[in-house]
């Protein structure tokens, strides 16, 4: 059994991102306690879980209990798969119902009694204990270092535009499409979504109506080591003409929200409708689209009108004058 600890700011989107990765690799979520997902998955799921954007870490779940005493009792019977030294790190989630102040010390003592040495500053193995409705303990297998994502935030890229999504969100959008081999962003801007997809080994295709964006996205992709890309200057409402005969496995995009300049002179709602139609035309049967729209635009009805099947949507308040939904649709 595995656990995945997801991030707390968009928990529904984060949970569905995990499900999407498990669906690609014969795994499934079998339970949830606030930010902790209990997961059944084979080893081949690990590379898919490694793709996650909205997760804190995942690991092997070894003990579950309804009280601290029960957790400690059960921990005695576990053969802790610890390599070298260890430390116990406790996560007290917002829904924690137990007194876990002493848990790290007591659980550490149980594991120490099996002959393992503690090293609080540089442990080889991190034992994680979680407190929610219930209590859990396990071994951390993968930690998603926030610095990796921070390094790719808009202002660290050689070509900077302040219009970019956070890299973790871009990554989650890519994953929600369940792409395995390729992804198109027809309004790529500085290429934030394409960078995340490219780093997963997907072949990426990008379009923007502005020449400086096409050149800037190219610089950004190269800067992060993404080489397998095709970029085109053109209009997202005419994708069929830009890629004759091509059908895409997956599409993810973040259309412009506001200013006349970013909309290239078009009316916003009209642009969104035509982009949806154009994406539908070039998407494979069964392929998925992840797309963001301001909350004032009814993305579900508009996409259904074009022929898409609604999969999910997630709300995000960006600032006082912008709130949006991220949608997932399927053809």
Ligand X SMILES: C[S@@+](CC[C@H](N)C(=O)[O-])C[C@H]1O[C@@H](n2cnc3c(N)ncnc32)[C@H](O)[C@@H]1O
Q: Is 256 in the site for ligand X (CB under 6 A)?
A: yes
235 is a contact residue toward ligand X (CB under 6 A): yes
**In this structure, what token pair is assigned to residue 77?**
């019977």
Spatial separation of the C-alpha atoms in residues 168 and 174, rounded to whole Å: 10
Contact with ligand X (CB under 6 A) among 237, 268, 291, 327: 237
**Closest distance to ligand X from the beta carbon of 264 (Å):** 4
Binding mask 123-162 for ligand X (x = CB under 6 A): --------------------------------------x-
What is the nearest approach in angstroms of ligand X to the Cβ of residue 136?
36
Is residue 117 part of the contact set for ligand X (CB under 6 A)?
A: no
- In whole angstroms, the minimum distance from the beta carbon of 203 to ligand X comes to 18
- Strand locations in the chain (E): 2-6, 28-33, 36-40, 55-65, 86-92, 125-131, 135-143, 182-185, 203-208, 229-233, 248-253, 283-294, 309-319, 322-330
Bridge partners of residue 319, in order along the sequence? 322
C-alpha 289/C-alpha 244 separation (Å) is 19
- Side by side, the strands of the sheet bearing 36-40 are 28-33, 36-40, 2-6, 55-65, 135-143, 125-131, 86-92
Contact residue for ligand X among 262, 281, 297, 306 (CB under 6 A)? 262
Cβ-count burial of 316 within 10 angstroms (0-12 exposed, 13-18 middle, 19+ buried)? Answer: middle
Q: Is 278 in the site for ligand X (CB under 6 A)?
A: no
Contact status, residue 54 vs residue 14, Cβ threshold 8 Å: yes
What is the contact mask toward ligand X in residues 181 to 220, using x (rule: CB under 6 A)?
------xxxxxxx-------------xxxx--x-------
Interface with ligand X includes 82 (CB under 6 A)?
A: no
Chain-centroid distance, C-alpha 263? 27
- Total binding residues toward ligand X, as defined by CB under 6 A: 25
Count of beta carbons in the 10 Å neighbourhood of residue 184: 32
Q: Examine residue 165 and tell whether it contacts ligand X (CB under 6 A).
A: yes
- Choose the stretch contacting ligand X; rule: CB under 6 A; options: 37-45, 49-57, 68-76, 229-237: 229-237
The minimum distance between CB 251 and ligand X, in angstroms, equals: 12
Residue count of the chain: 331
What does the binding site for ligand X look like in residue numbers (CB under 6 A)? 161, 163-165, 187-193, 207-210, 213, 235-237, 254-256, 262-264
């Amino acid at each position: 059994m595995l656990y995945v600890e997801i991030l707390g700011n968009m928990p529904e989107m984060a949970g569905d991102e995990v499900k999407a990765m498990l669906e690609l690799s014969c795994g499934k979520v079998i339970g949830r306690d606030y930010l902790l997902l209990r997961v059944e998955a084979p080893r081949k799921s690990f590379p898919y879980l490694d793709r996650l954007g909205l997760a804190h870490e995942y690991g092997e779940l070894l003990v579950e209990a309804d009280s601290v005493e029960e957790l400690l009792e059960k921990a005695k019977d576990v053969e802790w798969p610890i390599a070298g030294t260890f430390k116990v790190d406790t996560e007290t989630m917002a829904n924690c119902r137990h007194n876990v102040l002493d848990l790290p010390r007591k659980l550490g003592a149980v594991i120490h009694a099996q002959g393992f040495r503690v090293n609080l500053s540089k442990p080889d193995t991190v034992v994680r204990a979680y407190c929610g409705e219930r209590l859990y303990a396990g071994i951390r297998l993968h930690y998603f270092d926030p610095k990796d994502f921070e390094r790719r935030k808009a202002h660290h890229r050689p070509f900077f535009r302040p219009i970019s999504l956070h890299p973790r969100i871009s990554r989650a959008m890519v994953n929600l499409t369940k792409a395995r081999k390729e992804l198109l962003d027809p309004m790529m801007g500085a290429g934030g979504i394409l960078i995340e997809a490219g780093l997963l080994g997907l072949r990426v295709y990008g379009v923007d109506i502005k020449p400086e964006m096409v050149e800037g996205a190219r610089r950004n992709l190269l800067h992060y080591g993404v080489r397998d890309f095709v970029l085109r200057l053109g209009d997202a409402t005419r994708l069929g003409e830009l890629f004759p005969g091509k059908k895409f496995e997956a599409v993810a995009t973040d259309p412009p929200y506001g200013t006349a300049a970013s909309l290239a002179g078009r009316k916003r709602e009209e642009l969104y409708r035509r982009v949806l139609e154009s994406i539908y035309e070039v998407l494979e049967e069964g392929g998925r689209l992840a797309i963001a729209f301001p909350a004032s635009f009814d993305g579900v009805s508009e996409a259904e009108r074009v022929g898409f099947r609604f999969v999910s949507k997630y709300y995000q308040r960006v600032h006082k004058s912008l709130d949006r939904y991220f949608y997932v649709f399927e053809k």
